[in-house]
Structure 1
Amino acid sequence: MFQLTQLRCFVAVATELHFGRAAVSLNMTQPPLTRQIQLLEHELGVLLLERSGGNVRLTPAGVVFLREAEDILRRSQSAALAARRAMRADAGCVTMGFIPAASFTLLPQLLASVQAQLPDVQIVLREMQTLDQLEAIGTDRIELGIVRPFAPRSFAESAAIFREPFVLAMPSEHRLAEQACMRLSDLEGEAFIQFCPSESRYLYELIAGRLRAQGVAPETVQTLSHTHSILALVDAGVGVALVPRSAQKLGYAGVRFRPLDEVDSFDVEVHLAWRRRGRQGVVDAVRLLIQEAYPVPAKA
């Protein structure tokens, strides 16, 4: 099998089309350069260069092989760089999952923070629901995840990085749309669009639990997994919904958002998740940066 040294010699001669100039560019003498080209041609079983006096030109096989040789040299350099980066805590590649709701506000700010403070780190994003991210963390398909809070897992840890209140979303023509602030009791008997209890369990249980605690019973007309789908139905006049405040960024023209009063207000969280005893170095650097940039105080 040919060697990288032989490829470098061939590319130098193919670029210069002159053995003497190629030898100078490689900081070597001409006889060993010629020998390396001969060994390469012998290994391949084809003639790569035609020599006539002081003139050199590529054969058809040489033209094709030059493109491949340059590509191999580029990839070998990239591999070496990646290996060196892997030994650094401030460089490399990290695969991060995120829930769709994180893209409304948190994700763009988070990526900007990483880019500013760890410019040699590449974040590869994967849009996934929380349960899918946990499975991917457990099987090492992603290294960090932006998730909703989840039931304890033996292989995963998490920390809150974002907290926001729920707001009430209603059609712009709704009878309550002119009120500045809402009470949960205002939802009694209202057509209500709720999060899906199986696919959005955390959000469903937060909302359902608070409504039960307040003794409020709206009429659930639909259950959906994604905030944007819920707001699309609100926009169409199907009902009202409780959604995280950042959902206002979606900009549905026919939807009005109102805060809950101080007594009834309650919050939803986003967590950063990672694998226990997972890969160190750059993953830990990104994780710690995010946790320091987005501290969330414990609930009182």
Structure 2
Amino acid sequence: MFTLIQLESFVAVAEELHFGAAAERLNMTQPPLSRQIQLLEKELHAQLFDRTSRRVELTAAGRTLLPSARQILDLSIKTQLDVQRVATGDAGAVTIGYTAIAGQSALPRLLRRSASEQPGVSLLLRELVSTDQMDGLVKGTVDIGLLRPIVARPGIKYRPVMQDRLVIALPAESPLLEERESLPLQALSGEPLMMYSTSEARYFHDLVLRLFASAGAEPRITQYASQVPALLAFVEAGLGVTLVPASTRAFSPPGVRFREIEGSHGTQALNRVDLEVAWNENNTNPAVLKLLSLLDGNLDDPSADAAD
């Protein structure tokens, strides 16, 4: 089988039509160049050049080989560059799992950073609840997760990337809206509460219960859902109230209004919603590792994106 060196030697001679000029172009002496051409002709069982003391011309076989030889050399260079880009994390594919709320807050900022720093990397996006993201990280079907803190799994690493707080979401016609700009949780004691699912949204479920307990209030739970958009749909339909991350206000339905949670220092200290980035420590995809490095900066600060 012919080699890339032989093809490179052939193309140089074919384009220069002069062995001396071709040898100088390849930074080699003429005898080794002639030897590479001879080996190529032997391998192909064809004479590629007509050579005299005055001129060098391509034979019909040489003219046939030239375009293919150029394509092979171009492909070899492209392959080398592609492999190098993948090895450095500048190319490849990364699967990102994210919650519905992260899809409206942290994810767009991450995508902007990736587009700026890793334009050659393809991002595959999957909206999943936190427990399903964790399963995907363990199985290898998800490379990076944007999820809520849940029970850790062996081999899964994580760190916080964004903080938020819960606010009260009410139907636009709720009489509670007339009272004040913030409401104590005791004011919701008689209201139907749209609650987070224990199986798919345990983090929010437990946080809401802790907040009510800290305020000495008893929630009246009437509906369950695993995702914030579903809870907001219940609220807009006038079926009750719920507690959602403050970032939800940017994409809430038109029939929903919001109030801050009023309470003692204990309640305020508990009212913290964390978003974490998680990954499998055994993931060796360079594009994943480089994307994680872009998350060293906190996604809370949108000004960081403008500086990119």
C-alpha displacement of 1:208: 3.7
C-alpha displacement of 1:180: 1.0
C-alpha displacement of 1:181: 0.9
C-alpha displacement of 1:76: 1.7
Equivalent residue, structure 1, for 2:181: 180
Q: Write the letter of the residue equivalent to 1:192.
A: L
Q: Write the letter of the residue equivalent to 2:75.
A: D
How far apart are the structure 2 equivalents of 1:167 and 1:31?
Answer: 81
Judged with a 3 Å threshold, the aligned counterparts in structure 2 of structure 1 residues 12 and 252 are, in CA distance, closer, same or farther, namely: farther
Q: CA RMSD in A?
A: 4.3
Q: Write the letter of the residue equivalent to 1:133.
A: Q
Q: Write the letter of the residue equivalent to 1:175.
A: P
Q: Does 1:216 align with 2:221?
A: no
Q: List per-residue Cα deviations over 1:233-262 (Å, max 9, x = no partner).
A: 434444432111111222533322211113
How far apart are the structure 1 equivalents of 2:154 and 2:74?
Answer: 47
Which runs of no fewer than 5 residues in structure 2 stay unpaired?
Answer: 301-308
Equivalent residue, structure 2, for 1:3: 3
SS in 1 for 2:160: strand
Q: List per-residue Cα deviations over 1:174-232 (Å, max 9, x = no partner).
A: 333344112223333434333222222211222244446644233423x3332233334
Equivalent residue, structure 1, for 2:98: 99
Which runs of no fewer than 5 residues in structure 1 stay unpaired?
Answer: 296-300
SS in 1 for 2:259: strand
Among candidates 261, 270, 275, match of residue 270 of structure 1? 275
Q: Does 1:36 align with 2:18?
A: no
Q: Write the letter of the residue equivalent to 1:4.
A: L
SS in 2 for 1:260: strand
SS in 2 for 1:151: coil
- TM-score (normalizing by structure 1): 0.70
Q: Does the 8 A contact of 2:94 with 2:287 survive in 1? A: no
Q: Does the 8 A contact of 1:144 with 1:274 survive in 2? A: yes
Equivalent residue, structure 2, for 1:228: 229
SS in 2 for 1:197: coil
Equivalent residue, structure 1, for 2:74: 70
How far apart are the structure 2 equivalents of 1:50 and 1:225?
Answer: 73
How far apart are the structure 1 equivalents of 2:28 and 2:227?
Answer: 64
Q: How does 1:1-300 map to 2 (within 5 A)?
A: 1-10=1-10, 12=12, 16=15, 18=17, 20=19, 22-30=22-30, 32-33=32-33, 35-37=35-37, 39-40=39-40, 43=43, 45=44, 54-56=56-58, 59=63, 62-64=66-68, 66-80=70-84, 82-83=86-87, 85=88, 95=94, 97-100=96-99, 101-109=101-109, 124=123, 126-127=125-126, 128-139=128-139, 144-178=144-178, 179-211=180-212, 214-221=216-223, 223-263=224-264, 264-265=267-268, 266-275=271-280, 290=295, 293=298
Q: Does the 8 A contact of 1:168 with 1:258 survive in 2? A: yes
How far apart are the structure 2 equivalents of 1:46 and 1:129?
Answer: 63
How far apart are the structure 2 equivalents of 1:166 and 1:77?
Answer: 48
Judged with a 3 Å threshold, the aligned counterparts in structure 2 of structure 1 residues 28 and 203 are, in CA distance, closer, same or farther, namely: same
Q: Rg larger in 1 or in 2?
A: 2
Q: Write the letter of the residue equivalent to 1:168.
A: I
Aligned residues: 286
